[in-house]
Amino acid sequence: MTMTPLAGYSQNPSSFAHMRPRPVVVALTFAAILTGMLVSPFLLDLVGYIYGSTGGSPLTKVHPMTYLAVLAFLSAAISRGNPLAYLAESVERFPGTAYFTVMLVFMILWTLLIQRQPLTSLIDTFLPAALFIFLISDLTAKQHRILTILIHIIMNANALLGVFEVSTGWRLTPITLEGSVVEWEWRATAFLGHPLENALMSSIYLVMMTFGADRSVSPAMRIGIISLQVFGLIVFGGRTAMVLGFMLLGVRIVLLFFSLLRGRTFDPRLAGLVVMAIPVIIGLSLVAIDLGLLDRMIERFTNDGGSADTRLTMVRIFNSFSLYDLLMGPDPVALTAKMYAEGTQYGIESFVFGFFLQSGVLISIIFFFGLAAITYDLWRIGSRICLLHIALFYTIAAGAASLSVKGQSMTQFVILFCTIEALPSLMDRDPA
């Protein structure tokens, strides 16, 4: 596989990609990314920006991150002097992302004109993800490195905050449903908001660092990051994310062990760090047990809170509609009434089934072609192991409503991927 350098990629040396982005574009790009990683929907509702709850202005139904990402992209196009030429080159550099964006516009028009449904779910969930691929690719190597460091800091601060929340009972933002606080939920919300989104990102970040993403991270720092994300996964409580993350961590450890048996050399300092880390991990594990986290996790696996019944409910909902409705998308009012009757008004616990049910099979097929196209672009800019991270994201996301409802998980994955995972491809580029 030939990696495509992410930052400033272009086959044409006189192209826009080799032009340093204007400070205002860089500032807007960083502001949009940091807002997407640090400002959760729960936080927006908490400060009075009515985002996830009913009521409020239609303008507040769009995340500030999306507004900033659109401003950054428009500024990037205008600042290059020839917006149309910039757009044309963006299509040339990332054709899959361009196709995904066109597909998204078609989906938005279909939703607006045919289904007459709210548009913010499609806009917020997918538009910033596509724009960030273009915007991050415009950064210089130095700017990209600064952004990568910030993402490392945010991901580890997020895990630390999650551990603190569960340990103390304090919450940065409580979990709310339609403005009501969910009192019984023990899982942490931290910066990313919903525990499942936290678990999804922590699992992917854990696996990325486990399999060697960002070679500039020292062995000591890498061990610390991995250990912290392990505890982050526990306090965020996502079962699928936890099982897959820990399983892949175990696979990596086994592979390293067998490579040592085959005579692979290793740094003695790394072995010393591992030895020192063991009592620390044991101590933290004992603290976790004392806080009751082990009991809570066992309960999460033995009592799924109705998740299995919800998956059976999906079958009943599908059987409630005709073949024509399933192909073209059922009447939104009838679908909403059926979901409320079945107790799934907050979303089907599978974004794949959620799309097929909400948009219809024919439109959903178009969407999944677009999703495959943007995934192809991510594969082009990633390392040899990047397919593992992409597969992990979609596998975990497929077990929840995730991409079929309004949320930041797709965008956060793209940010994580284009910084932590795509960094090795920068080595092929002159850091202008």
Helix (H, G, I), strand (E, B) or coil at 360: coil
Most confident of 2-6, 153-157, 421-425: 153-157
Spell out the residues 6+ positions from residue 7 whose beta carbon is closer than 8 angstroms to its own: 136, 137, 138, 139, 140, 141, 143, 144, 426, 429
Q: What pLDDT, in 10s, does the model give residues 221-253?
A: 998 899 899 989 988 988 889 989 999 988 888
pLDDT at 167: 84
pLDDT, the chain, mean: 81
Q: What pLDDT, in 10s, does the model give residues 75-125?
A: 999 998 889 999 999 999 999 999 999 999 998 888 888 777 777 788 999
pLDDT above 90 (res 392): yes
pLDDT above 60 (res 345): no
When pLDDT is averaged across residues 144-150 and rounded to a whole number, the result is: 94
Q: How confident is the model at residue 299 (pLDDT cuts 50, 70, 90)?
A: low
| CB-facing half-sphere around the CA of 340: CA atoms within 13 A | 6
Within 174-303, residue ranges assigned H as helices are 195-210, 219-236, 239-261, 268-290, 293-302
Spell out the residues 6+ positions from residue 251 whose beta carbon is closer than 8 angstroms to its own: none
pLDDT above 90 (res 209): yes
When pLDDT is averaged across residues 351-364 and rounded to a whole number, the result is: 81
pLDDT above 70 (res 17): no
